[in-house]
Amino acid sequence: MKQFDVPNIYRSELISAIKNNRKQADKLKKDFSPTLLDFGNLKIYLARHFGFCYGVENAIEIAFRTIDDNPGKRIFLLSEMIHNPQVNHDLLSRGVQFLQDTHGHQLIDFDTITSEDIVLIPAFGTTLAIEKMLNDKGIPTEKYNTTCPFVEKVWNRGEQIAQKGYSIVIHGKAKHEETRATFSHASNVTPTVVVNDMEETIELAKYITGEKAEAEFYTAFKGRYSEGFNVKTDLQKIGVINQTTQLATDTQAIADYLKQVMIQHYQLDAANIAAHFADTRDTLCYATNDNQSAVAGLLKIEANLAIVIGGYNSSNSSHLVELCEEKLPTYFIDSADKIINKNEIVDCNWKTKEQRTVHNFLGNNSTTTILITSGASCPDALVETVIRKLADYYNAGEMVDQLIEKFK
């Protein structure tokens, strides 16, 4: 896989050594067991896969290269490059300006942008309408496009099944940048609707079977269906694509459920399923799959608590928290600063985004075992900082450098 030129401030000697060591021992990525960092009374287990993915490193490389290559020019980002506060802060400190916030609310009027400016498209992609607007202004979007290749893969797959007459069901968060972009691309070629979870999928199925009146659909799914969507005809032949950072198991469950609904409603057998349902499981992102599978491996370890490091508006990070907290106390932090001291940590609720201070989070045990992972937009340097801080609390800070040598 391509190696990207990412600023050293995001790299970690410790994490790089661990990842390289695991990669050499498991080149086919079949071993999802975690890595033990033994600090004596503190034992930290690191997930097999975590941190920057291909799409994130690609976006960061393009963004920082663009800044370096264009001194004196105004450089804008449509919205956050990725969902990591450190990376976005670093871009702002280099003079980059955000045109919109993460929800699509305007921060700088598009009317102020000219053909002399540079506009970077973030890793999530953007809508066709915004892309056209920028091109009409004479801004070459293809030159500064950091859209993740795996997001584009979803768009391409959607277009392929649309050409075969399928409508599209998107599993995603309707307000997320990536889902807004995917909806734009999908709805441009075929009727499209967004579902957030299985509960909404079950409701959508009731319109397929006729259990619910067609008119109710337009209220229940307001703002999440394409213009001119016809409930009676546009749900007869469907395929599921996804926001790449959703839980892969949830996307698969939603697709399996809708497939079964079609089989029962249209009395299909294995030979004619494709008449009403498209197989699209190949749109699941490799990094999302690997990170979530690695958490499954991580959770096989008996531990006192888990820590997930990532941006609070990061969808993939939130889902890692969701998985971990099903088994043990889990704390969601975006930096080592959220660990106030050995007794206090500031935890973020992955659902509400509310933060609270938790006391005695490490407990009073003579030995402590912690599980750690991070989101796909979290720099490895942040993970090392968290590890070093925890190790210091157990008078084992000097052992971090010893571990670097061990894993090299």
Q: Which residues are catalytic?
A: 178
Classify 118 as helix, strand or coil.
Answer: strand
Please report how many Cα atoms fall inside a 13 Å half-sphere around the Cα of residue 40, on the Cβ side. 12
Report the alpha-carbon angle 90-96-99, nearest 5.
120
> Which one-letter DSSP state was computed for residue 198?
H
Which tokens hold the place of 222? 């307001």
d(C-alpha 93, C-alpha 75), whole Å: 12
Q: How far apart are CA 10 and CA 7, in angstroms?
A: 6
- Cross-strand bridge partners of residue 373: 308
Alpha carbon 114 to its chain centroid, in Å, reads 31
**Cβ atoms 353, 315 nearer than 8 A:** no
Q: Count the neighbouring beta carbons within 10 Å of the beta carbon of residue 172.
A: 25
Residue matched to tokens 């709805």: 187
Contact 372, 390 (CB under 8 A): no
Distances (CA, A) of 348 to 178, 322, 338, 375: 23, 12, 10, 14
DSSP single-letter state for residue 59: H
b/e code 220-248 from CB counts within 10 Å (16+ = b): ebeebbbeebebeebbbbbbbbbbbbbbb
Strand, helix or coil for residue 106? strand
Dist CA 353 CA 339 (whole Å): 17
Q: Are 80 and 102 in contact (CB under 8 A)?
A: yes
Enumerate residues 6+ apart whose C-beta is below 8 A from 406.
Answer: none
The secondary structure of 228-272, three-state, reads CCCHHHHCCCEEEEECCCCCHHHHHHHHHHHHHHHHHHHCCCCCC
- 18 HSE (CA, 13 A, CB side): 25
